[in-house]
Amino acid sequence: MDIKDYIASGILELYVAGKLSEKENLEVAAMAQEHAEVRTEIEAIENAILELTRAAAPNTTPDFQEIRDKITVPETKVISMEKSSSAWFSYVGWAASVLLAVGLLWMYNSNQDLRTQVEAASQEKLLLEEQIANANNSLEQTTELLNTIREKEISVISLAGQEVSPSSYAKVYWNKSEEKVYIDAIGLPEPPPGMVYQVWSLKLDPLTPTSVGLLEDFTSDENRIFALTNANESEAFGITLEPAGGSESPTLEQLYTLGVVSS
């Protein structure tokens, strides 16, 4: 996506307002990390809001001291040092400073290591947060799907396995008023390469098939539920295996499942 368009979309203004979803926030944070332009723009927007909110402030703000008195700060320990006057003190001092130098070098090195680790960890954290956001999303989608097939007006048609594949089955959830069908194809085997399942709406007398659509990307769709549009006065539904791209009329030898709409 073009950075200028991204900035012009107004998403950064909403980011500063805190009005984006968790997922969008992460996206903006990632964009800002990647593009200096986005960072600068976010800061400019924030500055404008800072200026405006400051202008809306009353003339006095409470003193920090009042707050200071009300909080607890983790205590830092004070260690008292005892005076030493022995002659060998300076030798020990030299030895100590050499040790210190070595120690500092070692600490510098391990600090570099830690930095790399922290960076890696924060990258990983960002990734994990993105995964959580994605998981939430897919949960939402699943819930939506569940609600859809639970609707009142939906009729459910079971399609039974036919000669080619007696163990196959499928279900059709048909919302007549919205002209939508959802095909639950979990009971169909994976199509061989170069082949695709095609859904047909059938009129029984005389037998007239009309294509409703293809179950594309069969393997990549994990829940195997496909939404298609069906404006036909269907009396039955069938699913056949066809060459990629689908066919004009069904190849009946490859009829996998068939089911009649109960009236």
Partner 1 sequence: MSLDSLVNRFQEKDIRAYEQLYAMYAENITGVIHTIVRDEQLAQEICQDVFLKIWDKADSYNSSKGRFFTWILNIARNAAIDKLRSKSYKKNKQNLYTDNFVGTLEASMEDDSTPDTSILKSLLKGLKGKCVSVIEMLYFKGYTQKEVAQELAIPLGTVKTRNRDCIGKLRKNMTLLHGH
Residues that bind partner 1 (CB under 8 A): 8-11, 13-20, 22, 25-26, 29, 42, 44-62, 64, 66-68, 70-71, 73-74, 122, 125-126, 129
Least separation in angstroms between CB 125 and partner 1: 7
In degrees rounded to 5, what are phi and psi of residue 243?
-65, 150
Measure the CA–CA gap between 107 and 101, rounded to whole angstroms. Answer: 10
- Give the helix/strand (H/E) hosting 173: strand 169-175
Looking at the Cβ atoms of 77 and 83, the one nearer to partner 1 is 77
Q: Given the complex with partner 1, which of 56 and 146 has the nearer CB atom? A: 56
The nearest distance, CB 117 to partner 1, in angstroms, is: 16
Cβ proximity to partner 1, 20 vs 149, nearer residue: 20
For residue 148, the minimal CB distance to partner 1 (Å) is: 22
Residues in the chain, overall count: 263
Q: Return d(Cα 212, Cα 228) in angstroms, integer.
A: 7
Cβ closer to partner 1: 113 or 124? Answer: 124
Beta carbon of residue 193, minimum distance to partner 1 (angstroms, whole number): 42
Q: Which of 28/196 has CB closer to partner 1?
A: 28
Q: In which order are the strands placed within the sheet that holds 255-260?
A: 208-214, 195-203, 236-243, 255-260, 154-161, 169-175, 180-184, 225-229
User: How does DSSP assign 200-233, residue by residue?
Assistant: EEEETTTTEEEEEEE--STTT-TT-EEEEE--S-
